Amino acid sequence: MIPLEHYLYISAALFSLGVFGVLTRRNAVNVLMSIELIFNSANINLVAFSRFVEGALGGQVFALLVIVIAACEAAVALAIVMSLYRVVKHVNLDDAAELKG
């Protein structure tokens, strides 16, 4: 049987990797991927605690709702990326001055 702590170590590592990605990546889609890692790490915690600490399904329901929210956020974020891409493409992509200001 895998002890609770091992799940927590894995989720902590996943969370830290997500934080690293958020801090260092400059591409919007890549930051989005790192954020998904953070959501997944929290979900591992929730499900593990649901089994080992609460002994009921509250954490699993929470994790399920988190998956739904993550899907919504990803859809909206990618719609924004597409929309921005369309605008920027027409302006002039290499002209990053406005983007940086």
Partner 1 sequence: MSDAVQSLSRFLPELILMGALAVVIVADLFTQRRPLKSSTDLLNGIALVGLLGALVTSWQALGAGEAQPLFASMLADDGLLGVFRPIFCLTSIVVLLLGMRSKELEGVRLGEMLALLLTVTAALMWMAGSVNLVMIYLSLETVSVASYLMVGYLSSDRLSNEASLKYILFGAVSTGAMLFGLSLLYGMTGTLDLYGVRAALAEGAFGPGLLFVLILIAAGIGFKIAAAPFHFWCPDVYTGAPTPVTAFLSVGPKAAGFAVLIRFFYLGMAEPAGGGAIAPVGGADWQMLLMMLAVITMTLGNVAALLQTNVKRLLAYSSIAHAGTMLMAACVLSVDGVQAIAAYLAIYLFMNLGAFAVVILAHRVTGSFEIDSYAGFWKRSPLLTVAMGIFLFSLMGIPPFAGFLAKWYVFAAVINAGLGWLAVIGVLNAAVAAFYYVKVLRVMVIDQETGPTPALAFSRLDLALLVVLVVPNVLGLLFWGSLDRVTEVSQTLLELG
Partner 2 sequence: MESMASAAIFYGVAALVLGSALYVVVGRNLVHSAFALVAAFFGVAVFYVYLGADFLAGAQVLIYVGGILTLLLFGVMLTNRIYNLNLRSGAIQVVPGALSAGLVFALLVWIIQSVDWGAMDAGDPGPTSESIGRLLVGDYLLPFEIASVLLLIALMGAAMLVRRRGSRS
- In sequence order, the 6+-apart residues with CB closer than 8 A to the CB of 88 are 99
Question: Where does residue 32 rank: exposed (0-12), middle (13-18), buried (19+ CB within 10 A)?
Answer: middle
Name residues contacting partner 2, limited to 59-98 (CB under 8 A): 60-61, 63-65, 67-76, 78-85, 88-89, 93-94, 96
Kindly state whether residue 48 participates in binding partner 2, applying the rule CB under 8 A.
yes
| Residue 46 to residue 20: CA distance in whole angstroms | 22
For residue 56, the SS3 value is coil
When asked if residue 35 is in the footprint of partner 2 (CB under 8 A), the reply is: no
| Angstrom distances, CA of residue 10 to CA of 13, 48, 73 | 5, 11, 24
By beta-carbon proximity to partner 1, the closer residue of 1 and 5 is 5
Per CB under 8 A, does 10 bind partner 1?
no
Positions touching partner 1 (CB under 8 A) are: 8, 15, 18, 22, 28, 31-32, 35, 38-39, 41-43, 45-46, 48-49, 53-55, 58-59, 61-62, 65-66, 69, 72-73, 76-77, 80-81, 83-84, 87-88, 91, 98-99
